[in-house]
Amino acid sequence: MLQQYNLCFYQTPSYVLSDMLFRQAILCVLAFEIQRNILPQPHRNIFLRRSLPMREEKKPSRHASSIAQDIDQTILDILSSYQPLLPENSATIVIFVFICMEEALLVAHEGGHVAPYIGYMSVFCIIVNLVYVMLRARQSESMILHLNEMVHWMVQKDDQETLQFVICNVNISSLLELGGERMLELLTNYALDKKLLSLMTKAILVTALQEKNVRFNQMDQVAMLRIFLSCRGTDLTALKNVIDGSGNYQNLYKLVYKDVHIAYVRKRLLGHLQREAYKVREKLGCAFGIKVLSDVDDTLHSSGGHFPAGVDARFPKHMVYPGCLTLFQILDRSRGPWCDDMKSALAIDGMVSCNLVFLSARPHVYKNIAESHSYRLFEMLVRDQRMHSLPTLLPGRLRSGIGAMFMQPLKNTMAWKNVGINKFKTYVDFRELYLEYDYIFFGDNGQGDLYAAQRMLANSDTSTRRRSTEALERAEPSATSSLCDDASGDSSSSDSSDGNAPRTPCKILACVIHEVLHESKALAMEPSNDRGPAWREEQKRNRLLFHRTYVGAAVELHRCNPDLVTVDDLKAVATEAAQEFEGERYSFADYAGESHDFWTDVEKELNEDIERANVLLREAGRELVPLVLPPPESSMDDRFFSSPRAVPAILHRMGRQKRQNLTTLSSRRLDESPTDTEDRPDSQETPDGFYLTSTSSSDCGSEAEVANLETAASFTDADMRLQVAEEARCLSRERAETSGSSVRRVSFAAMAEEVPVTPTRNRYR
């Protein structure tokens, strides 16, 4: 029989086989997608996706904890009953493939003619799967009813504490998906009417609705609109920031412009966001804050000159530019008493605003495939306390990105014009969501950022006035309006209020461009022949600033607007940039080998901008920032320990493996020291005022700690000394746990009394 199948298969024409295989592939994809959208999917808790802690500090009651555990366990039981059919299960994929290939075998058996039937086996397998799904749904019906009863009891009893704890600690996306319309009505209608939801629980519900594909469900979109209409003023601003800080590609921009497809709901939502933003600006008399928009490649970190990411080959690939994140943090800081209003509205300890937004040219393809790489980088920087806030990522468009990649060899930078136009459009759309903020854009001139920046500055005021007037005229009745009226409460009167733009309209304060190409090769609105010193001066008057290092960017921003970047801020950026540069030079030592010629040009540019900053610091009577010194002609080990800036720059961002490597280096230095380690007493005081007691004189962790503390003793900066000492404690603790010996610290108060620690304002929070 198999020989007959094979013979008939090889005799089948190739075009018939290709058509047959294409149809089977489509059938597999359709079956997979239908299964993924019909069966309940497991989702992660919102707090498990964040690098920043956001849990409320109040300890829950025993009753609230027991109900949350009961609901969470019920959700897990229901999802486990569907586990054999979930698309993540490998057995399901194999079954689908065999079912689809059944038709191919029948076609081959008929000698190339299309079979008039799919096959009894295929029909039988499909019927069995449908029956299995129906039986599982029938068995889970009682558990789903139990979930709805528990949530209904909390809402009916006005148990606000328990309800908020449950929403924050259970799998709320799966709860909404399993509970159906009844659960959605309880949480987004009755709970809102009774004011049982806090700002954080509202943000969690919006994110959960996004995860369960709000774009395919009209009731979900109306429920999401109810949540936004229930917030006003700074509460709405805080809600938007929390949604954007979810830690994945589900953000406010995607929600408004991608997920919400009902025209009236989108108009009603945009109108509400813009009206409340105008009220916030009018109440404050100025902007609520600053949103920092930035490109990723060749702006945040170097592309290493690898196409199509970028063209900057001065630095190793993926190296974060020195001083970049410090400048972002300074520009993102909140000024004024309105910051306290947002913090009190959130009522969460440690919550930070999400005012850092990255505009990427990488398109959104499927789920978070394209964005996952960037978010992993952001989470690592936040976890290492280099980036102060978890940012939002706005992806590009697939068509313009692919077109630029293919046309780059023919048109050079002109191929990126559509990418620049799309970035400008993305900025305009994003600005409509946060009209209470002002904006600063960071980019590079290697692709389309310079062109986008010129468009932003040219259309800043006129576009804001035109779009603000149009946005406030959104009152078209439709079939969906009746669903939203009950949820809006008293918003109808607010929506019909005066829609005049505030006295301080939203504007872009500056555009800062990183020069990675010569200006004649960069893409701009003017032809290359018309560019020169006069053109650069004109662009500077229009708030378009150029720089080679981020110390230079801080200098240009200070000269453009001294209130935006003060003299103290300028000193902080220069100090951090010099420290990070020396640390990165050691981290990427393998990239340049033992020769330091690779870093000479970059070091020269950084020192030139530090000298420009020192001129301003000298005029203001501030302490000057030391220049970056070239590394000595010695081994990389001595190079690291001879640089007082490199030690804290490395220690505060290294992982376990790098700390173990540092242990080896420290031990080697101690072995080369004239002092014999075996003659040391069991308990001694280090130069920094630490007392170390080790049960093993050969313990590598204690030796590394002593070496690090001796290195820290040479520092005059108290913050640096504390940073190195803290890393040394972690190092000794890890070595003690792995080796079995004990390293005990007798006194830490000596150093604290000797050097009072007052962290600087720009230090990583």
Is 46 a member of any domain? yes
263 Rama class: left (phi>0) / alpha (psi -120 to 50) / beta = alpha
Helix (H, G, I), strand (E, B) or coil at 635: coil
Domain that holds residue 626: 563-644
pLDDT tens readout for residues 476-486: 444 445 555 55
More confident call, 7 vs 205: 205
Q: For residue 220, tell me if it sits in a domain.
A: no
CB atoms near residue 170 (< 10 Å):
21
Is the pLDDT assigned to residue 96 strictly greater than 70? no
Please check the confidence at residue 249 and state whether its pLDDT lies above 70.
yes
pLDDT classification of 545: cutoffs 50, 70, 90:
very high
pLDDT one-digit tens code per residue, 427-470 = 999 999 999 999 999 999 988 899 999 999 988 754 454 444 44
The whole-number pLDDT of residue 75 equals 85
- Burial of residue 328 (number of CB atoms within 10 Å: 0-12, 13-18, 19+): buried
Instruction: Kindly state the DSSP code that residue 547 receives in the 8-state scheme.
Output: E
- Predicted TM-score (pTM) of the model is 0.72
pLDDT at 590: 65
User: What is the dihedral sign for C-alpha 741, 747, 749, 753?
Assistant: negative
- DSSP state letters, 648-695: HHHHTT--HHHHHHHHHHHHHHHHHSSS-GGGS-SEEE-TTS-EEEES
Decide if 224 contacts 231 (C-beta within 8 A): no
Report the relative pairing of strands 691-694 and 683-685 from DSSP bridges.
Answer: antiparallel
The DSSP output letter for 395 is E
192 vs 762 pLDDT, higher one: 192
The predicted structure's pLDDT at residue 312: 87
189: which DSSP letter? I
Residue with the bigger pLDDT between 213 and 759: it is 213
Q: How far apart (Å, rounded) are the C-alpha atoms in residues 574 and 497?
A: 48
> Do residues 579 and 618 share a domain?
yes
* pLDDT level of residue 21 (50, 70, 90 thresholds): low
Confidence category of residue 471, pLDDT binned at 50, 70, 90: very low
Whether 581 maps to a domain, the answer reads yes
pLDDT of residue 125: 63
Domains of the chain: total: 3
More confident residue, 749 or 585: 585
Closest alpha carbon to 179 in 204, 145, 154, 203: 145
| Separation CA 37–CA 25 (nearest Å) | 18
Domain finish residue from 172, 194, 224:
172
Q: Is residue 151 part of a domain?
A: yes
Percent helix, strand and coil across the chain, each rounded to 5?
60, 5, 30
* Spatial distance between the Cα atoms of 429 and 267, rounded to a whole number of angstroms: 13
pLDDT (tens digit per residue) in 672-721: 444 443 444 443 333 333 333 333 333 334 444 444 444 444 444 444 44
65 and 139 fall within a common domain? yes
How far is the C-alpha of 481 from the C-alpha of 400, rounded, in Å? 36
Do 621 and 737 lie in one domain? The reply is no
Same structural domain, 23 and 100: yes
665 in the same domain as 635 = no
Tokens found for residue 689: 């005022």
Please give the helix or strand (H or E) that residue 438 lies within, else none.
Answer: strand 437-444
* Residue 3: both structure tokens together: 């020989």
Map residue 222 onto helix, strand or coil.
helix
pLDDT above 90 coverage of the chain, percent: 25
Range 124-145 average pLDDT: 72
Q: Are residues 32 and 143 in the same domain?
A: yes
Range scoring the smallest mean pLDDT among 77-86, 156-165, 179-188:
77-86
**What was the pLDDT predicted at 367?**
60
For 210-215, what is the mean pLDDT?
Answer: 79
CA distance 576 to 168: 37
In a domain, 428, yes or no: no
**Is residue 585 in some structural domain?**
yes
Q: Pick the residue with more confidence: 415 or 739?
A: 415
**pLDDT of 374:** 80
Q: Are residues 620 and 658 in the same domain?
A: no
> Of 172, 187, 211, which residue is a domain's last?
172
Judge if 74 and 161 occupy the same domain: yes
Are 325 and 386 within 8 A, CB to CB? yes
Range in 189-203, 259-273, 408-422 the model is least confident about: 408-422
Instruction: Report pLDDT for 730.
Output: 53
Q: pLDDT at position 23, please?
A: 64
Residue 241 CA neighbour count, 13 Å, CB half: 28
Side chain identity, residue 224: M
E strand or H helix at 59: none
Do 625 and 690 fall into the same domain? no
Structure tokens at 369: 């495939």
Quick one: pLDDT band at residue 299, thresholds 50, 70, 90?
very high
- Cis ω on the peptide bond leading into residue 308 (within 30° of 0)? yes
In-domain check, residue 359: no
Dist. CA 91–CA 13, nearest whole Å: 32
- Averaged over 59-70, what is the pLDDT? 84
If asked whether residues 719 and 571 sit together in one domain, one would say no
Instruction: Out of 172, 197, 222, pick the residue that ends a domain.
Output: 172
In this structure, are residues 574 and 554 in contact, taking their beta carbons and an 8 Å threshold? yes
More confident residue, 30 or 374: 374
pLDDT value at residue 345: 44
Segment 633-637 mean pLDDT: 52
* Same domain as 638, residue 569: yes
- Whether 666 and 740 map to the same domain: the answer is yes
User: Residue 204 is inside which H or E element, if any?
Assistant: helix 199-211
DSSP string, 271-331: HHHHHHHHHHHHHHTS-SEEEEEE-SBTTTB--TT-TTT----SS-TTPBPTTHHHHHHHH
* Average pLDDT for 277-294: 91
